[in-house]
A and B are shown apart, each in its own frame.
Chain A
C-alpha cells in the first residue's frame, strides 16, 4: 500500500486529479505487468492499462475504502478488462502470438540469464493454467501481493488462495520440468 494512500484516495474520490495522479504513478507499472503477461503484446497491454486507469478515474467517486489497498480495486478492473479483451478477440488470441521482443528484452536486462527457463516458455506455461491460477501466480510471485489482498481481489478465502497457489505451482512445475520441492511462501 502507498504511504498516505487513504488520504490520496479520499482526495481522488473528491475529484482531486493530482491525488489520482499519485495513485496512477504508484500502481500503473504493476497493472501493466499483470496485463502484459496475460495478453503477451506491449501494444495491447498499453491499451488495456490505459482503459483500466481511465475507467478507475471515471468511477473513483463511487469507490469506498474498506481497508484493502487501492490496488485490489484496480486489479479487479484489470481482470475484467482482460476478460473483455479476450471476448472481443475470440478466435484471434493465441498464446503463441506474442511480441517476440517483449520477453527477450526482459531476459537481457536480467542478470540471471537462464537456459532452463525462458520467460516466453514460463509465460506460455502460465497461460495454459486456469484463469484464477494465472492470476494467483502473477499476484503472489511477480508482484509479491499478500495472501490477504489476493483473496480480496479474487473474492476467495485465504485458504482457497493457498490451495490454488499450491496447485498452480504444481502444474507449472510439471509443464516446465522443474524439480525444486519447496514453495517460497
Chain B
C-alpha cells in the first residue's frame, strides 16, 4: 500500500473524528471513482495464451489492451492529483502558510501536466514503447510524486495541529491566571512545580511547531518535517499531562469534607 493515498485519507478521517466536537476544519473529501481491477489486467495474459490468435493478431490485441489499461491507469493517477488539490485548497491557511500551500498546488499542477504529456505519447507506441512509458511513470512517481504527497500530507497534518495549539494556548493563559491568583492566597510548591513543568513543555512544543513550519516552507524531505511535527505533538501531549498535574495540585488545595 503506497503511503500517499492512505495517509491523506487517514488525515481526512482524523480531521473528521478528532475535530468534530471542538472545531470544524471543513476539509473537502474529493469523490474518486477510479477502480483498476485485477481482472482487467489479467486480460494481457489471456491474450498471450489465447490459441485462437495468430501471432500478428496476438500482438495487435495485446497492444490494444495495454494502451487501454495504461490510459485508464494514468486517468486514475490524474484523479489522485485532483483529489489532493481539493483537499489542499480546503485546508485552513494562515498568512505565513499561504506560500507553502501555493507551492504545493503548483507542484501538483506540474504532476498533472506530466501525466497529460505521458498519455499523449500512447498514440504512437508499440508494446515495448507502452512498457517504457509505464516504467517511466513508475520511476517518476517514486522519485518525485511520492515525496510531494509526503510533503502535502505533512502540511495538512501541521495545519490541523494549529487548532490544538490555539486551544492549548488559551488553556495555558487560563492556567497561568489561576496559578497567579492561587499563589497569592495559599503558596503551594507542588502547584508551582507543576505549572513550571507544564509551561516549559508548552514552550518546547511551540518551538518545535515553528521548526516544523520552517521545514515545510523550505520544502525539506517529508521525513524531516514529519519528525518535527511528531516532536511538537509529543511535547503538546506532555503539556497536557502537566495540565492534569496542575489541576490535581489545585484540587489538593481545596479542603475535602
A and B touch in the complex (CB under 8 A): yes
Q: A: which residues have CB within 8 A of B? A: 155-157, 160, 163
CA distance A160 to B239 in the complex (A): 12
Tell me the total A-B contact number using a CB cutoff of 8 A. Answer: 8
Main secondary structure of the interface of B (DSSP, over half): helix
- Residues of B227-257 at the interface with A, using a CB-CB cut-off of 8 Å, are 237, 241, 244, 248
Which residues from chain B sit less than 8 Å from chain A, CB to CB?
A: 237, 241, 244, 248
Whether the Cβ atoms of A156 and B241 lie closer than 8 Å is yes
Q: Closest residue of chain B to A157, judged by CB? A: B244
Chain A's interface: helix, strand, loop or mixed, by majority?
loop
Contacts beyond the supplied A156-B241, A160-B241, A163-B237: 5 A-B pairs with Cβ under 8 Å: A155-B244, A155-B248, A156-B244, A157-B244, A160-B237
Q: Which residues of B contact A157 (CB under 8 A)?
A: 244
Nearest-CB distance from B237 to chain A (Å)? Answer: 7
> Cα distance A160–B236 when bound, in Å?
12
Give Cα A160–Cα B243 distance, bound, in whole angstroms: 13
Give A155 to B237 CA distance when docked, in angstroms: 15
How many angstroms from the CA of A155 to the CA of B244 in the assembled complex?
9
Cα–Cα, bound, A160→B242 (Å) = 12
- Residues of A near B241 (CB, < 8 A) are 156, 160
Can you list 8 A-B pairs with a CB-CB distance of less than 8 A? A155-B244, A155-B248, A156-B241, A156-B244, A157-B244, A160-B237, A160-B241, A163-B237
* Bound complex: CA A155 to CA B252 (Å): 15
Shortest beta-carbon distance, B225 to chain A, in Å?
21
Residues on A with beta carbons closer than 8 Å to the beta carbon of B237: 160, 163
Closest Cβ–Cβ distance, residue A85 to chain B (whole Å): 24
A37 smallest CB distance to B (angstroms): 25
The CA-CA distance from A156 to B238 in the complex, in Å, is: 11
Instruction: Give the residue name and chain of the A residue nearest to B245 (CB).
Output: A155
Bound: A156/B248 CA distance, A: 12
Q: Report Cα–Cα, A157/B241, bound state, in Å.
A: 9
Q: How far apart are the CA atoms of A145 and B244 in the complex, in Å?
A: 23
**CB-defined contacts of B248 to chain A, threshold 8 Å:** 155
A160, B237: Cα distance in complex, Å = 8
